[in-house]
Amino acid sequence: MQENPLYLGIDTGGTFTDGVLFDPAQRAVIRSAKTLTTHHDLKLCVLETLNQLLPADAAGIALVGLSTTLATNAVAEGKRKPVGLVLQGYDPELVRQFKFDKQFGTPYYAYVAGNYDVEGRETDPLDEAELLAAVQRFAGRVEALAVSAYHGPINPSHEAQAGRLLSERFGKPVVQAHHLSSELDSIRRAATASLNASLLSNLDEFARAVLQALAERGAACPVMIVRGDGSLMELGYARQRPVEMVHSGPATSAIGGGYLAHLERGLVIDMGGTTTDLALVDHGAVQVNGGAATIGRYRTCVRTIRARSFGLGGDSRIVFDHWGNLTVGPERAIPFARYCAQTPEHRGEVIAWLRANHKVRYSDRLEIWTLRRLPQVQIEDAVVRQVIELLRHGPQPYWRVREQVGPLAPVLIEQMIDLEIIERVGLTPTDLLHTSGEFAAWDREAAALAAEICAQTLGVTPQELRERLTGEITQRICAEIVQFLSERDFSDPLSRLEHQLDRWFFTEGLQKSHAYLGSQTFLKIPIVGIGAPARIFLPPAAQALGAPIIFPDYYEVANAVGAVVGNVVVRQEALVLPQLEGNMIGGFFVRLPSNQQAFADFDLALAHARGALRASVQAELKAAGAAAGEVLLDELELLDGSVQLSAVGVGKPA
């Protein structure tokens, strides 16, 4: 290895893949790169990033740090893969009564017998025949499976037994909830396991692409990836825990933005092609959630930074109609400008089609469907199969698809998008930037034609359309900032807005249209702008909130910087609890992340908990890719004979 080894940081987002070559001795970026993310083959964009950063091979690289918004985008856009969830020992009536099934994140779930009591003793054996029969009913429709046992944190034997059996019988990845969390909240654990299973293929595809690309360039060094709480873990270890990568992108943007801006306190806003992410830096560190994170609408056991991600970016789909309505996102579309530049074989047909359209009534008449990939699971719906067959022959306008196969229910369209079977080409903010010349990397004529059709439908000029779009984006960003920092949501947007005082105050602060009253919301900390579209779309939001905005050097690739300046961090908890026998204490339990043991003496139980928890954290640090690190232990006495132990291990990548 060379005397002055370098670090390589790569961040793969929904639109762009960013890279930096970083000198840890000088704490400086040497070179940066930005290339389009090639969703059909992620290895291509990783190789292109390496080609831009490394003139020769990667033998002198000492560490590769990765981050990705692919998991975050999948949740934000609703593009998670279908999974099956097995619930062992759960009460179906209780779940139904309180509608907990809405948290499972999948319609494919089954209850099976098998349970333990609170002391870890088996009360009901796992019924293997029932398990296999239940999963068989939906196995052909899902890409992965998840298993959550009601008392899994106390005794995970049934989860492990079911995991082995299902893996052998169905040949699909199986996630066991106790591997992800020792949280006693059974609904959170089930949601976390289900979400993790639904994201397995997203991270696995990314991991294989990176490892193959690095191998082709001769890299032989640790490969780490950033968790959602900003810490690092070894890539092989992470591949089994993709749910922990949710908010990986926001975490690295906050770390990288704060690092590049030398920021002690501020709001980092990362605006990409698919999502915009908000995160706080305070006292020079990224704020971490005090409790478990809610990801989308799912309550999980995942620890992440305090962040807010929403579907808004340069490639957000613009929806409009002849009534004058216009919305941006959260769905993503391929901009006309990029599509025509990248598929010259279809450009002529698309340009002719755009010229033939003048004024449409709805934006779906200005939309093209392309086949992204063939489905990986069995498709039962005949209409979906018809759409796939039609798109095999090439891209088609959506209206033509509808003419060929008949009306398409929104749920079917969502299914095809979720499974990444189809991709939509449509009008986006990126197209409007091409018309104004603020960004013109691709086909300006295609963008101008699409924007003109939208403007005519709305009855405005192209310039007025750009101004209205900017206003919509500014209002959306400001609204998200206010809700994120205040930790309060606005009143129901479906109700009559003029009767909601909170929304009136907010809107008046931006538009200042009332003849007698005024209001203003001020942001007391600076904004750090991160991401390619940030310099265009964030200044109006900063101005509306009266805040200074900073664009540090390399702000466009700050995520990649954040991927190489962190530590490996492991957090675990243990409990010492009294074993009650009537009104008497007959002994003590030590509940660790993976098992529970009984002791007759409190001091012995506490000593075992301390030693075992330290050893468990050190083992996970090593598994996560760290050299031996420091473990800090904190103890809290809950009641007489009850102690909660919290351990944090911190280490540098090995």
Q: Please tell me the predicted confidence (pLDDT) of residue 495.
A: 47
Tell me, yes or no, whether 517 and 576 share the same domain: no
Tell me, yes or no, whether 327 and 386 share the same domain: yes
User: Does the structure show a pLDDT above 80 at 190?
Assistant: yes
List the single range of 127-141, 173-187, 267-281 with lowest mean pLDDT: 173-187
What is the rounded CA–CA span in Å between residue 559 and residue 287? 17
Q: Give the pLDDT mean for 126-132.
A: 93
Domain annotation covers residue 513: yes
**Is the distance from CB of 267 to CB of 64 less than 8 angstroms?**
no
**Final residue belonging to a domain, choices 507, 532, 557:** 532
Q: Could you tell me which of 238, 215, 226, 286 has the C-alpha nearest to residue 564?
A: 226
Domain annotation covers residue 455: yes
What domain count does the chain have? 3
Tell me, yes or no, whether 519 and 572 share the same domain: no
User: Helix (H, G, I), strand (E, B), or coil: what is residue 199?
Assistant: helix
Q: Could you tell me which of 231, 273, 393 has the C-alpha nearest to residue 18?
A: 273
pLDDT digits (tens, 9 = 90+) for 391-450: 988 899 998 899 888 888 888 888 788 777 888 999 999 999 999 888 888 999 999 999
Tell me the β-bridge partners of 88.
112, 149
User: Does the structure show a pLDDT above 70 at 21?
Assistant: yes
pLDDT digits (tens, 9 = 90+) for 440-488: 889 999 999 999 999 999 999 999 999 999 999 999 999 999 999 988 8
Q: Please tell me the predicted confidence (pLDDT) of residue 131.
A: 95
Percent of the chain with pLDDT over 70: 94
Q: Tell me the average pLDDT of the chain.
A: 86
CATH number at residue 628: 3.30.110
**Is the distance from CB of 519 to CB of 508 less than 8 angstroms?**
yes
Confidence bin at 200 (pLDDT 50/70/90): confident
pLDDT digits (tens, 9 = 90+) for 500-519: 788 888 888 888 888 898 88
User: Does the structure show a pLDDT above 90 at 545?
Assistant: yes
User: Does the structure show a pLDDT above 90 at 155?
Assistant: no
Tell me, yes or no, whether 438 and 525 share the same domain: yes
**Final residue belonging to a domain, choices 474, 509, 532:** 532
Tell me, yes or no, whether 367 and 401 share the same domain: yes
Q: Does 68 or 319 have the greater pLDDT score?
A: 319
Domain annotation covers residue 488: yes
User: Helix (H, G, I), strand (E, B), or coil: what is residue 124?
Assistant: strand
Q: Please tell me the predicted confidence (pLDDT) of residue 172.
A: 87
Q: Please tell me the predicted confidence (pLDDT) of residue 93.
A: 93
Residue 349 to residues 120, 343, 400, 405, 498, Cα–Cα distance (Å) = 66, 11, 14, 22, 46
Q: Please tell me the predicted confidence (pLDDT) of residue 607.
A: 95
Tell me, yes or no, whether 493 and 558 share the same domain: no
Tell me, yes or no, whether 320 and 390 share the same domain: yes
Beta strands 642-651; 630-639: pairing state: antiparallel
Question: Residue 597 corresponds to which tokens in the numbers above?
Answer: 């043991």
Which stretches of 357-443 are assigned E, i.e. beta strand? 368-371, 396-397, 422-426
Q: Could you tell me which of 388, 379, 350, 343 has the C-alpha nearest to residue 367?
A: 350
Which are the contacts of 207, defined by CB distance < 8 A and separation ≥ 6? 235, 236, 238, 239
H-assigned helices in 344-381 = 344-356
Q: Give the pLDDT mean for 515-525.
A: 90
**Is the distance from CB of 442 to CB of 335 less than 8 angstroms?**
yes
Residues, the chain:
654
Q: Please tell me the predicted confidence (pLDDT) of residue 551.
A: 96
Q: Could you tell me which of 529, 557, 652 has the C-alpha nearest to residue 21?
A: 557
H-assigned helices in 512-557 = 534-544
Tell me, yes or no, whether 383 and 442 share the same domain: yes
User: Does the structure show a pLDDT above 80 at 223?
Assistant: yes
User: Helix (H, G, I), strand (E, B), or coil: what is residue 566?
Assistant: coil
Q: Give the pLDDT mean for 177-196.
A: 83
DSSP output for 594-605: S-EEEESSHHHH
Confidence bin at 493 (pLDDT 50/70/90): low
List the single range of 118-122, 300-304, 338-342, 602-606 with lowest mean pLDDT: 300-304
Q: Please tell me the predicted confidence (pLDDT) of residue 638.
A: 82
User: Helix (H, G, I), strand (E, B), or coil: what is residue 233?
Assistant: strand
User: Does the structure show a pLDDT above 50 at 1?
Assistant: no
- The distance in angstroms from the start CA to the end CA of the chain is 15
Confidence bin at 104 (pLDDT 50/70/90): confident
Tell me, yes or no, whether 205 and 328 share the same domain: no
Percent of the chain with pLDDT over 90: 38
Tell me, yes or no, whether 597 and 524 share the same domain: no
Q: Please tell me the predicted confidence (pLDDT) of residue 13.
A: 82
Torsion, Cα 278 180 574 633, to 10 degrees, reads -50
Q: Please tell me the predicted confidence (pLDDT) of residue 294.
A: 63
Q: Please tell me the predicted confidence (pLDDT) of residue 135.
A: 96
pLDDT digits (tens, 9 = 90+) for 355-381: 987 778 888 889 999 988 887 667 778
Tell me, yes or no, whether 335 and 456 share the same domain: yes
Residues of the domain holding 625: 568-651
pLDDT digits (tens, 9 = 90+) for 323-332: 999 999 888 8
Tell me, yes or no, whether 426 and 554 share the same domain: no
User: Does the structure show a pLDDT above 70 at 79?
Assistant: no
